[in-house]
Amino acid sequence: MTIHDKTIHDTTLSRRSILKAGAGLVIGAYIVRGGKAFAQAPAAPAYNIAPNTFVIIKPDNTVTVLCKGIEFGQGQWTGMATLVAEELDADWSQMRAEHAPSNPVLYKNLAFGVQGTGGSSAVANSFVQMRQVGAAAREVLVAAAAATWQVPAGEITVENGVIRHASGKEGRFGEFADKAMQLPVPSDPKLKDPVTFKLIGKEGVVKRLDSADKTNGKAIYTLDINEPDMLTVVIARSPKFGGTVKSFDATAAKAIAGVVDVKQVPTGIAVYAKGFWPAKTGRDALKVVWDDSKAETRGSAQLLNEFRALSKTPGKVVKNEGDFEGSMARGGRVVEVEYVFPYLAHAAMEPLNGYIRWDGDTAYARYGCQFPTPDHAMIAKTLGLPMEKVKLDVILAGGSFGRRAQQSTHAAIELAEVAKAMGPGKPIKLVWTREDDMRGGYYRPYSIHRMRGTVRDGKIEAWSDTIVGQSIMKGSAFEAMTFKDGLDSTSYEGSNEIPYDVANFRMDMHQVEVGVPVLWWRSVGHTHTGYAVEAFVDELLEAAGKDPVDGRLELMGKKPRHAGVLKAVAELADWKNYKVPEGRARGVAVVESFNTFVAQVVELSMTDDGPKVHKVWCAVDCGVAVNPDIIRSQMEGGIGFGLGHILYAEQKLDAGVPVAGNFDLYRSLRINEMPEIEVVIVKSTEKPSGVGEPGVPPLGPAVANAMAKLGVGRPRQLPIVPGASA
Amino acid sequence: MAAFALKINGQTHKVDVDPDTPLLWAIRDGAGLTGTKYGCGVAQCGACTVYLDGQTVRSCSLPVSAVGTSEVTTIEGLDSKEAKAVQTAWVALDVPQCGYCQSGQVMSATALLTLNPSPNDRDIDLAMNGNICRCATYVRIRAAIHGAAKTLEG
């Protein structure tokens, strides 16, 4: 996503803007008196009530970091706390994390300018900011201790959460919290020299802050919100995208015990009930006649034919270097392939949902919100309230993979509409069933890449890639940021700037309209461009008689970090000398996404149920590694997520209706299909970049390339195991 | 609607629901215990795994009327030595990512170790392949089960 390419540069000079952010109140840390945690504070405050609040230090010495972004598995609670704790010289055992509430000024993502999580930007956009918060808190605590002890601040040291003076005086943070609150917070706190880091990048000293509660059932997600008067809502939405309600009969639904009311809302018919089950059975009992006159009615086969025909014609040129057609005309070994990528659902474990309470004058919403600022604004607008009359709290979400970050804010608007239709006074929990979530659209776009190239004298001389696909950003607030010359750059990112030196290069695109809503999906454009580029280069190198690793390295002269991870994974996997067991083969791929570089080697064999991946070796360069174990876990998870989809997942359309509604037809990777994984983190002093998404893209092409080595060919149409999901 | 007296984690919870209501929703909306999750509603994902008289069941697909006097155990009621070993290993290896499926994973892993204190990889595959983790924490789930088994050996 190009909007994130700017991240790193922006953060380096953002310090001044951070410290100015809260309308002149230059406070990086907020120290709570009397144990009153601001995180749990007021019921319906204006959103700017507590400027510059990132850290809460309580009398019990716990240090709670308020996290700007959402924790949905990627580990940013732990990451943010690590950055603060490092500069604060806190002991890890005293660290805690919570979500910051929605506040578009204070808690904006410095990469976006609004509050939100995405593009693997959490650590990248916070690396300096959160360290400054920790350093400022440390300085103010030291000043408080110095004043208490009547000693110069310069003689005080802080280590593992203990403040000490040579005279033997010592105390912990909580003892100085009250006094520290009276003191000015330094505007330009001194940051540590990275060589003195004790937590950042260190093995074994930082553990995730959310593991225990996620192991004993105590972690609270939106689905777990429960209040005595609360109504649970399930909505009947049009089976086809773009369909609307023509008429409905709620008689049978209203006869179900527990159903309280039925209302029409802009997205369909909402059933309000005491609990999920009556709401769901009530919804299923509705008789709705849909108006499909404006609905998308094409099926997958028709889309394939249309996309395929278009891919054989030149699209709008994104990049053109050298003379592609001229080079092709000179002959050689010509390779032309087509790759077809299906619609994919995100299918996070927790389907979409939300909680809202509206009393007519104010509203309070609480859910696993990935983009608070736009959601907050649209909830307010829908309810006819100024934004400061709406409070929005973010809580843990059961995964997202992109689904909870909606540039259209469709789910937030629907949540507010459901409250509005019922009238003020009732707390409401809106729940999407698994089927609602999976058939509800906002998929990874369907697309085709038509690749052409030629090899002469063992060299790749020409390369072209014609993409046919749907824009993710068109019509959204992000259009201006992501569109270049009328094309959505997130549809082709990774295809226009390949890491290989090819003299004659062309990349063009047909941006097509389909009435299926689409969305970013864990690694966005790289989900398909990574496959197209890495499977194709492997095929060309094979035609050139080159080794997949050496051949790539020869062409990567201008790409040291790509080459770095490729060499690292080749060493980890012992690419040269390893004896591949009989019946198995290995393949490799390397993809950069969101400024992070990942190379993977896959070893697989073929079974009746498609490829069986036995092992994946992975090398990652994400700049300075903040939490090595979280980086490894994101690579492991990215590999498993990538593998499950490349093997099995597809959302087909039957006359416009999504076919798969649940995991029976949308097959998910299971434990018996999970490979062994070995990860190496390449040492780097580059600025930190994200790891939530970049583990995904190389996996698919590495599988394809291993399949080719095994003699079964690189899959041209995904998923690899056809029929698994329809 | 009908009244059911459910024995959950050693306590009786009275819930007034339709007899066809899946046990999952009686536990969550009726008894107010939210550790057991809804993921699919069709016994595909295992997020709703609980014990019925010690046996794992998918509570999303078991009508509350079929529970009778059986003892229901949810994640909140886990207290066996196997459960402790599993939960300790889960935290030691930082298994969870989003965490939403993990109650079900812990229930299935504990059930496995209760029946088979030293499972091999194949045993783990068979016992755990009904529990989907969309974050794909499977490498660590496997390692944590082996780790817990080691702890139980003493």
pLDDT of res. A476: 85
Mean pLDDT of chain A: 91
Residue A10 to residues A120, A407, A687: CA-CA distances in angstroms? 15, 22, 12
Contact list, B40 vs chain A (CB under 8 Å): 434, 662-663
* pLDDT of residue A150 exceeding 90: yes
Q: Does B99 touch chain A (CB under 8 A)?
A: yes
pLDDT digits (tens, 9 = 90+) for A170-218: 999 999 988 888 888 887 899 999 999 999 999 999 999 999 999 999 9
A17: its two tokens: 């803007």
pLDDT at A2 over 50: no
Beta bridge partners of B11: B8
Partners of residue A676 in chain B, C-beta under 8 Å: 139
Inter-chain contact B44–A662, Cβ cutoff 8 Å?
yes
Minimum distance, in Å, between the CA of residue A75 and any CA atom of chain B: 7
What was the pLDDT predicted at A104? 87
**A472 exposure class (CB count in 10 Å sphere: 0-12, 13-18, 19+):** buried
Instruction: Summarize pLDDT for A11-48 with one digit per residue, the tens.
Output: 222 332 223 222 222 223 344 333 322 222 333 233 33
| Higher-pLDDT residue of A38, A95 | A95
CB contact A212 to B (< 8 Å): yes
Encoding tokens for residue A88?
Answer: 């604060």
| Interchain contact, B98 vs A349, CB within 8 Å | yes
CB atoms B34 and A224 under 8 Å: yes
> Residue A412: what are its φ and ψ, rounded to 5°?
-70, -40
Residues B93-152: tens digit of each pLDDT: 999 999 999 999 999 999 999 999 999 999 999 999 999 999 999 999 999 999 999 999
A:B CB pairs within 8 Å: 192
The residues with which B71 forms a beta bridge, in sequence order, are B7
Mutate one of A76, A93, A211, A215 to test the B interface: name it (highest B CB count within 10 A). Answer: A215
pLDDT of residue A677 exceeding 50, the answer is: yes
Distance (Å, whole) CA A568 – CA A578: 15
Check if the beta carbon of residue A265 is closer than 8 Å to that of residue A680: no
Q: Are B75 and B102 in contact (CB under 8 A)?
A: no
Q: Percentage of chain A surpassing pLDDT 90? A: 87
Q: What is the mean pLDDT of residues A616-630?
A: 98
Neighbours of A377 (CB within 10 A): 19
d(CA A665, CA A651): 9
% of chain A beyond a pLDDT of 70: 92
Q: Are A317 and A506 in contact (CB under 8 A)?
A: yes
* Position B63 pLDDT exceeds 70: yes
> What is the reported pLDDT for A113?
86
Residue A677 contacts B, CB cutoff 8 Å = yes
- B29 has pLDDT over 90: yes
Tell whether A255 is within 8 A of chain B (Cβ): no
ipTM: 0.98
Nearest to A176 by CA among A95, A88, A92: A88
Of A55-69, A201-215, A543-557, the least confident: A55-69
pLDDT in tens, A132-143: 999 999 999 999
* A93/B contact by beta carbon, under 8 A: no
Spatial CB neighbours of A179, under 8 Å, sequence gap ≥ 6 = A144, A147, A148
Among A216, A434, A676, the residue with its CB nearest the CB of B75 is: A216
pLDDT at position A491, please? Answer: 96
Q: How high is the mean pLDDT of chain B? A: 97
pLDDT surpassing 90 at residue A169 = yes
- How many Å apart are CA A505 and CA A324, to the nearest integer? 6
> Residue A673's pLDDT band (boundaries 50, 70, 90)?
very high
The pairing of beta strand A428-431 with beta strand A231-237: parallel
User: Is the pTM here over 0.90, yes or no?
Assistant: yes
**∠ Cα A272 A274 A278 (to 5°):** 75
Distances (CA, A) of A692 to A72, A387, A637, A641: 10, 31, 9, 11
**A234, pLDDT greater than 70:** yes
CB of B120 within 8 Å of a chain A CB? The answer is no
Residue A635, CA distances (Å) to A41, A77, A373, A638, B48 in order: 37, 18, 29, 5, 27
Question: Looking at residues A644-649, what average pLDDT do you find?
Answer: 98
pLDDT beyond 80 at A634: yes
pLDDT digits (tens, 9 = 90+) for A374-386: 999 999 999 999 9
Give the tokens for residue A321.
């270097």
Overall average pLDDT of the A241-248 stretch: 98
Distance CA A86, CA A92 (A): 9
Closest CB from A211, A218, A664 relative to B90: A211
> In whole angstroms, what is the distance from residue A683 CA to residue A553 CA?
19
The CA distance from A694 to A698, in Å, is 8
Look at A35 and A259; give whichever has higher pLDDT: A259
pLDDT category at A345 given cuts 50, 70, 90 is very high
Question: What's residue A724's pLDDT?
Answer: 57
Question: What's residue A475's pLDDT?
Answer: 87
The pLDDT assigned to A12 comes to: 28
Whether A414 contacts chain B with CB within 8 A: no
Structure confidence at residue A481 (pLDDT):
85
Q: What is the DSSP letter of A682?
A: P
Chain A residue at shortest CA distance from B21: A277
Q: Rounded to an integer, what distance in angstroms lies between the CA atom of residue A551 and that of residue A553?
A: 5
Determine contact: A248 vs chain B, CB below 8 A. Answer: no
Chain B residues 34-73 with a CB less than 8 Å from chain A:
34-42, 44-45, 47
d(C-alpha B31, C-alpha B78), whole Å: 16
What Rg, from alpha-carbon coordinates, does chain A have? 27
What is residue A14's predicted lDDT score, i.e. its pLDDT? 30
